Amino acid sequence: MKSLKYIFICLLALNIVGCESYFGENSNVDPDNPTSATVNVLLPQVQLRMSYIYGGDFTRYLGINTQHVDGVGRQFVVYQNYGVTPGDLDASWSNIYAGTLNSNSVMKNLATESGANHYLALGLILESYTIMMATDVWGDIPYSDAIKFAENGGVYAPTVDSQQDIYNSIFSNLTEARTLLSGDNGGVTVGGDDLIFGGNIDNWIKFANVLEARGKIHLTKVNGNAYAEALAALNNGGYAGAGDAAGLSFGPSATENAPWYQYIEQRDDCEVGASYVALLDDLNDPRVDTYGFEHAVPGHPVFTPDRTMPLISFSEQEFIRAEALMGTGSAADAFTAFVDAVTASFAEAGVDGAADYIDANYGTSVTMDDIMMQKYIALYTSPEVFNDWRRSGVPSLTPHSGTTIPRRLPYSEAEQLANPNITSPKDISIFDRVWWDAQ
């Protein structure tokens, strides 16, 4: 679908823009060397960073909590028993802030200065996706001050935004992005440098709508209109089919391999979750041959070197639709969406028999728990499953250790030491809830 021919250009861009702490335009600038880049050079490396983080560390740390994966070696034996520490998240935090959002901010500024409206819109969507990923696991985090670092005089202590305010900003970003994408591109056309949609602006608008629906569905515990608002977002124009779904294709050479392939090849200290496989076996689910496959490469049917890593899949969209319809009292329509979701999941897993499977296990109607259970099965290793489990309690999981499963990740140790605005570990733990995960 996409080529990673930009990989070396991306490495150059990383050298140009990857070191400014919290998006400072003028920090770490050497006046004797040029420090300029163009939007088409920055876009692919922003997309690569974002996708690698989402499909890498987060899938493993959160997969332990959801029991999609089990830790079987080295540090992951400790993580299996919920021993993740702040220092373990330093790289993830840095890659999100100093990496993805930093470079994305530079791209947005360049797009604004040059009138490249569609690049600005893509920056708003990528920022929204990234900051939603971050706030969902950490709760209240730096956001508004973080991207105003230079304006704050270079102080390395951005204030922390509430998760509620961050979500409001996300929805505002997506509204602005759709408006920009529906207008003139300012004479700068997005093309092959876009590793997600290859410059297809219609698909970017669809992605913005589906991302908004994902965000709205997260708020079911704190917003009585969440289901209706999620449906409205999809009804504005979501994916028409799997071909519209957002994903980024990695490459066959060693420097381009997808995150899970690299991880298994180099470390191999995680394995498919035993309880997850048992669930598939209990349902006589043919997807066990795909998602229950031993973590071995080459040979894994999903974790290939050139995997197209889904950002939001078509099946996820249809599960959001099914849940929202059920939540608004439209049980018959919810079942139709459920069938579409499970059918899409079977296609994504490369197996047949969805209709017979649905008939054998569900007949002609489903409950909300059925919808959430099938979404749990379909989105193997997706960080989104952790969000769903916290909202719904489905499936009912037995902790590996103690009596409670973590409900968030710890803040980065490096950030705690550098920024006094970050909540201290003595005041918050991995068992505390984020704002939208209300009791």
Structural domain contains residue 261: no
Q: Give CA torsion, residues 372, 244, 356, 301, to 10 deg.
A: -90
CA angle 358, 363, 369 (to 5 degrees): 75
The reported pLDDT for the residue numbered 150 is 55
- Rounded to the nearest angstrom, the gap between the alpha carbon of residue 153 and the centroid of all alpha carbons in its chain is 32
Structural domain contains residue 213: yes
**CATH number of residue 327's parent domain:** 1.25.40.390
The reported pLDDT for the residue numbered 14 is 41
Q: CA dist 273 to 16, 72, 350, 357, Å?
A: 41, 10, 20, 22
Structural domain contains residue 46: no
- Along the 439 residues of the chain, how does pLDDT read in single tens digits? 333 444 333 434 444 333 333 334 443 444 333 356 899 999 999 999 999 999 999 999 999 999 999 999 999 999 999 999 999 999 999 999 999 999 999 999 999 999 999 999 999 999 999 999 999 999 999 999 887 655 665 556 899 999 999 999 999 999 999 999 999 999 999 999 999 999 999 999 999 999 999 999 999 999 999 999 999 999 999 999 999 999 999 999 999 999 999 999 999 999 999 999 999 999 999 999 999 999 999 999 999 999 999 999 999 999 999 999 999 999 999 999 999 999 999 999 999 999 999 999 999 999 999 999 999 999 999 999 999 999 999 999 999 999 999 999 999 999 999 999 999 999 999 999 999 999 9
Structural domain contains residue 289: yes
The reported pLDDT for the residue numbered 298 is 96
Find the domain containing 179 and state its range.
7-24+66-248+270-411
Structural domain contains residue 392: yes
The total domain count for the chain is 1
State the pairing for strand pair 270-272/69-71: antiparallel
The reported pLDDT for the residue numbered 369 is 98
Nearest-angstrom CA–CA distance, 115 and 101:
20
Structural domain contains residue 418: no
Q: What is the DSSP letter of 162?
A: P
Structural domain contains residue 381: yes
The reported pLDDT for the residue numbered 12 is 40
Structural domain contains residue 374: yes
The reported pLDDT for the residue numbered 153 is 59
